[in-house]
Every structure is written in structure tokens, then in C-alpha cells.
Amino acid sequence: MLRYVIKRIFYMIPTLFGLSLIAFMIIQLPPGDYITSLIASMQDSGINVDPRQVDRMREIYGFNDPIWLQYLKWISGILFRGDFGYSFEWNRPVADLIWERMGSTLAISVASLLFVWAVALPIGIYSAVRRHSVGDYVFTFIGFIGLAVPNFILALSLMYFSYRFFGQSVGGLFSPEYIEAPWSWGKFIDLLNHLWIPIIVIGTSGTAAMIRILRANLSDELHKPYVITARAKGLPGYKVVLKYPLRIALNPFVSAIGWVLPDLVSGVTITAIVLNLPTAGPLLLRALISQDMYLAGSFILLMGVLTLIGMLVSDLLLALLDPRIRFT
Amino acid sequence: MTVHTFIDEAPETGPATTPLKAGRATSDIGEANQWTLVWYKFSRNKLALVSGVAILFFCLVGLFAEFLAPAIPDASRPQFTNAPPQQLGFFVTEPDGSQRFQLHVTGYAMEVDPASLRRTYVPDPEQVVPVGLFVTGAPYKMWGLFNADLHLLGPTEAGDTMYLLGTDRLGRDLMSRLIYGTRISMSIGIVGVCISLVLGVVLGAVSGFYGGVIDTLTQRVIEVISSMPTIPLWLGLAAAIPLTWSPLMVYFIITLIVSLFGWTGLAREVRGRFFALRGEDFVTAATLDGSSERRVIFRHILPSLTSHILAVVTLALPTMIVAETALSFLGIGLKAPIVSWGVLLQEAQNVRTIANAPWQLVWPAGAVVVTVLAYNFLGDGLRDAADPYES
């Protein structure tokens, strides 16, 4: 098992490297750099800047270095000092800005994942056991709709419905009176009251996909001889399903974290922008629009790392569940 | 020595072909070529068939947008902002009480809110605006090639209003915008898929055919790309598009961005099939026959998985459309004057707009959802039909 874990972590390194290259590329992509925008804003306020001074500043900030050296400086700053660069829009180090936002992104992603599992598991089992029943068709239909409706359209529709029928607006994570309040039971309840809409919005497509997978796997499994044997020897119906076939059908369920998680993080980003949640999404969009690239690049990097860690966890869980993986 | 004979051994019963569909003769199937078999199997899936027709319909709408749209998408009439949809009717009542066939829409009555002085419109059944088929209306340039002014449906009197789906905040006809948006949104999907088709097929074929280092390298790249959350990545790339670029350039770059991340699934599929087919007899035969590697890949192996590729491509299309819609919705994808479904949805971003003019959300969102669903059903049907030889 330990060998597998080490191997798996080792495999992550090239992927992480590729990820950091993409993030760095995005940082470098917009034309001009910080100095360009600084000089533009200085000229706006009437200060004339000597071109030689500009060159000196570029020298100081290292913008004249070859591109690989800039990358090296950037990545070593992150790895060894936790220094993600400087946010020119907020005039603060990026590291001060991102952690809180990444925390809430992580929290909502995990909550959505739990929602996906909690909903998909019973429905998937039901659909597999009662194939082609009315309930199965209903869930299949809802599932297709869930897959087809993009997150932000779902969020907009829910916003409209809750405005229309409950008369409340559904943005944010807290009611105004709780935003600055210290944590209390009331604040927690208020959080739950606001959290269910984003979680449903983000989790729906993942849930639909999971139900389809579980239904397909479990119904394959249910027709195998050992299940018939179990039934023949008189095991009660629920045990025939839950004891063995479900455990095998659950493997893809766990490994699906690997591809559901990027979707969830992606979904959190856009849903948060629509619903105005204090996660990385709105800040990322703002940073991108104002070309505050270090902030934006750090978010993209960290979101990628988040999904990679999620995939690692899912692979390790799978290895725990399934000895065939650990020993080959 | 004893010889075992089975009593119930059945006599030979001819080729083991099972009829794909009751009523189709076995001899028919025996002689049909692969595409005919695929079609037999596909046409049994009614949902996929209907979806295919829907997709075709959307494509035609996009193709003939200028003719189908009642108005020019950018033509705004500020006096009719956020006007609700007008009902299309077929019969009008004459003063003497008899009914007469006349295509028409109901007119508007304006109400001014005394508190805010804001004008709102309500449909007024008393007013009748006659409309007709094949009317001359606003002039346009068909496909940018020749001038025309014929519209499928429009008010017979120039200057009358016909807003079947309502108007937006600048008083532009939503129906015309939706129809023009269909052209952009559908074409982005198709163009984007073509780009990722080339990338995916070439990289998948090469990595599946040669294996080894090339394969490992390609797989790593695919892993990196597919582990990235797509929306932040698209946002990052799209935000770098300079504001000074022409809308057409932006359109192509957005298509490129969208397709750059859509090819991974296709490459995986192609690679897997290549692994399976590499050892087949016909490949060995072709190699022994002196075919070059390129010929073996593109002439012998690829054609045998065309139907699979078609299915994967169809399933990849909705992702592209949603990607463009999401980017434009967030304001860093396509921008005016280009109209796409995402650009339309951007107008419906806040609760107030949606509450006042829900049609601005309903129609573009409906178009996106129907298209995505149809592509999914069509793709599922194609995937099931892709291999007509398995039962």
C-alpha cells in the first residue's frame, strides 16, 4: 500500500508542473505588465515618467529577465516562501487575499460532493433494482435535465423562482445581519438557509452523472451468478443488493471523484459569480477583468491543485476499497 | 473407445445473423454495408431520431437567420423597451361579428407608472397588428453576399411592431436576436468540434499506434488538461483577448479556446480503439502489403472507427456550446455586436431584469437546454449504433 501511495504521489509531480506552466502562461498572456499599467496610472495623475526610470524599474522588478527565469522566481516564491506575488489592484500580497476565498471554495465543493453522493446513492440503487419502473424513468428524465442545464442557467432560474414565489433574494452566504456577526447557532442556521441553493445548483449535473454510472454498474452486477446464488440461498432482498453487488458497483463511484471534482470546482466558480458567493469565483473574474494577473493566476493554480489533491484522495480511497489496484 | 454423440445436436441452420428489427429480412442485413447497418440500428432509437431532426432544424435556423428573423438584431426602438411578447393569432373578428382569417399579433397599450414615470407595456387584445408571410421588411445582406429584404414573417405595415418573444432593455426584438444567436452558438460548437477533432484524432491515433514514449507523453498532457477545472481556465485565457480586436477575431479565438480543451476525450477514445485494432489481421495484412504507416493509420484503421468518432464528437458538441455560453454570459466571451445565446443571457443577469422581463431568460436558456439535450440524445443514439455487429 505504501509503495502505491508513494508511486501515486510521485506521478503527481509532472502533472503539477504542467499545471504551474499553464497558470504561469495565463499570468504572462495579457500584453503589457505591471509597470505598463503603473506608468499609465501615473500619467493619468499628471506625473511624467522618464523612460530611463521605467527601464530601471523593470530591472528592479525582474521584468527584463528571460521568461524561464521569471517562471523559476515565481514558482520558487510559491514553493519556498508561500509568496504568490503581488495584487496590483488590491495593493496587497496575493497570499493575503486568496486563502479565505479558497477555503470557502473548498468548503462548498466538498459540501456539493457530499450532496452528490447522498442523493445519487439511494436513487442509483433504486433505479438499478427497479429498472424500467415509473420511478426509474422519472429519475432518468430529471437526470437528463440536470445534465443538460448549465449551472448558471439553473442558478438564474432558481433565483427567479425564489424571488417570484418566496419573495426573497438568494445571493450571498449570509443574511445581512449575520455577515459581520461572530459564529453562533443562529449564524449557522442562516448559512444553511443560504447554502442549499448553490449546493443544489452545483451538485445537480454531478448527481445526474453519478446516478447513470451507478445504475449501469449495479444493474450489470445484479445479473451475475453470485447474486442469483445469494438469492437462491434465501438471503433477504436488501442484503442481496447491499452486501456484495453494491460494494463492487461503488468503485467507479469513488473513482468518479476524479472527474466530478474539476466539474464541481468549475461549477462553484460560475455559480458563485451568479449568486454572489464569497468564494474564489467572483474575485477571479474581477481580477481577470482588471488584468490583475498574479491574483488570477494564483487562483487558477490553486484550483488546479485542489482538483489534483481530490484525485489523489479518490485514487487512494479506491486502493483502500479494491485490493486489485493496490497489488498490481 | 467410445464415441460421444449428443442426441439433441441441432442441424446446421445457416449463418448466425439475428434480425436487427422484426420484419427486416435476414438476407437484407446480410448484404447491407456497415453504414446501412448503423442506420438500421440508429433509426430504432426514436428519441435520437427526433433529436437529430431538432439539431438539423437549429442548423437550418442558423443558416437562414437573415430570412427567418423578422427584424435586424441590432435595430432598437427605445420606445419599446422590455415589451412583453405579443400573441400570434390567426382569426380576427369583423365588426359584424364574423370571423376572418388574418395572421395578426395583438398590439400594446402603454401604461405610465405615476410614481416612477416608467413606461410599461401590456398586450392589448383590442388592437390588431396585421402580419403576413414573406413580407418585405428591413433590408439585409444574405450571408454577406447579396442584398435582400424578404422576411418569412413580419408586420405587413412597415413601422408596426411584431415582438413574438418580447424585446430587451434597448427595445430590440428578442426573436430576431435569438435567431441570429442560433447561427453563432451552433457554429461555434461545430467549428470548435472540428478543431478538436483534428487534434484528438491525430494525437490519439499517433499515441495509440506507436505507444511507448509518445503515448506516455500524450497521456500526461491529457491528464493535466482534464484535471484543470475548465471554467477558471477558459476565463483566464479569454480574459487575455485584447479589447481592440475585431469581433470576428474574438469569435475565432473563443472557438479555439473552447476546442483546445475539448479534444482530450476524443483522443482517449481514438487511442483506446487503436490499441484494440493494432493487432488485428487486416492491419498486419496492410503492413505486409507494404503500406506506409501513414496509410495504415489513415486509410485502414481510422475509417473502421469513423462511427465511434462521430458519436464522441456529437457528445463533445454540447460542452463547446455551453462553454461559449458561459464565457459570453460572464462578459469575457463574445461581445456586441455579435449575438450569441450567451450574449443574450448576459442581459438577464440580475434578478430585477428576470423579474420584469422573464422572457429574456426563458428563451435563450431554453434554446441552450434543448440543444444540449438534443445533442446528448443524438450522441447516445449514435454511440449505441456505432457498432452494429454487437447484439
| pLDDT tens digit sequence for A36-60 | 767 777 777 777 777 777 777 777 7
**Mind listing the pLDDT tens digit of every residue in chain B (391 residues)?**
455 544 454 444 444 444 444 456 566 666 777 778 878 888 888 888 898 999 999 999 888 888 888 888 887 777 777 777 777 777 777 777 777 777 777 777 777 777 766 777 777 777 777 777 777 777 787 787 788 777 777 777 777 777 878 788 777 888 888 998 898 899 988 888 899 888 888 888 888 888 788 888 888 888 888 777 888 888 888 877 877 788 888 888 888 888 887 788 888 888 888 888 888 888 889 889 888 888 888 888 888 888 888 888 888 888 888 888 888 888 888 877 888 888 888 888 777 777 778 888 888 888 999 999 898 888 888 887 877 776 5
**What is residue B131's three-state secondary structure?**
strand
Q: B-contacting residues of A 241-280, CB under 8 Å?
A: 258-259, 262-263, 265-267, 269-270, 273-274, 280
Nearest 5°: phi and psi at B247?
Answer: -55, -35
Taking CA–CA distances from A20, the nearest residue in chain B reads B224
- The answer to whether B369 contacts A263, with C-beta atoms less than 8 Å apart, is no
pLDDT greater at residue A63 or residue A279: A279
Domains of chain B: 80-167 (no CATH), 177-385 (1.10.3720.10)
Assign residue A91 a region (left: φ > 0; alpha: ψ between -120 and 50; beta: otherwise).
left
* A193 has a pLDDT exceeding 70: yes
Q: Among B229, B235, B331, whose Cβ lies nearest the Cβ of A262?
A: B229
- The answer to whether B235 contacts A285, with C-beta atoms less than 8 Å apart, is yes
Q: Among B229, B322, B355, whose Cβ lies nearest the Cβ of A303?
A: B229
- The answer to whether B236 contacts A157, with C-beta atoms less than 8 Å apart, is no
Do B325 and A150 form a contact (C-beta atoms < 8 A)?
yes
* Structure confidence at residue B57 (pLDDT): 92
In the β-sheet with B88-93, what is the strand arrangement from edge to edge?
B88-93, B99-112, B119-142, B146-155
* Structure confidence at residue B1 (pLDDT): 46
Residue B348: list chain A partners with CB under 8 A.
156
- The answer to whether B351 contacts A149, with C-beta atoms less than 8 Å apart, is no
Q: Give the model confidence (pLDDT) of A281-303 as tens digits.
A: 888 888 887 777 788 888 888 88
CA distance A237 to chain B (A): 31
- The answer to whether A153 contacts B369, with C-beta atoms less than 8 Å apart, is yes
**Residue A309 contacts B where some CB pair is shorter than 8 Å:** no
Residue B55: list chain A partners with CB under 8 A.
none
- The answer to whether A15 contacts B224, with C-beta atoms less than 8 Å apart, is yes
pLDDT band for position A176 (cuts 50, 70, 90): low
Q: Where are the beta strands (DSSP E) in chain A?
A: 86-87, 92-93
**Residue A150 contacts B where some CB pair is shorter than 8 Å:** yes
- The answer to whether A29 contacts B237, with C-beta atoms less than 8 Å apart, is yes
Residue B351: list chain A partners with CB under 8 A.
159-160, 163, 169
Taking CA–CA distances from B331, the nearest residue in chain A reads A289
Residue A18: list chain B partners with CB under 8 A.
220-221, 224
Amino acid identity for residue A307 in this structure: T
- CATH architecture observed for domain A95-167+198-321: Orthogonal Bundle (1.10)
What is the average per-residue pLDDT within A97-114? Answer: 85
What is the average per-residue pLDDT within A262-277? Answer: 83
What is the average per-residue pLDDT within A1-10? Answer: 83
pTM of the entire predicted model: 0.80
Would you tell me how many other CB atoms lie within 10 Å of the CB of residue B342?
Answer: 29
* Structure confidence at residue A167 (pLDDT): 65
pLDDT greater at residue A120 or residue A132: A120
- The answer to whether A259 contacts B239, with C-beta atoms less than 8 Å apart, is no
The cell for A323 is: 485490493
Cα–Cα distance, A49 to A43 (Å, whole number): 7
* Structure confidence at residue B53 (pLDDT): 92
* Structure confidence at residue B210 (pLDDT): 83
Q: State yes or no: cis peptide before A282, omega within 30 of 0.
A: no
- The answer to whether A156 contacts B354, with C-beta atoms less than 8 Å apart, is yes
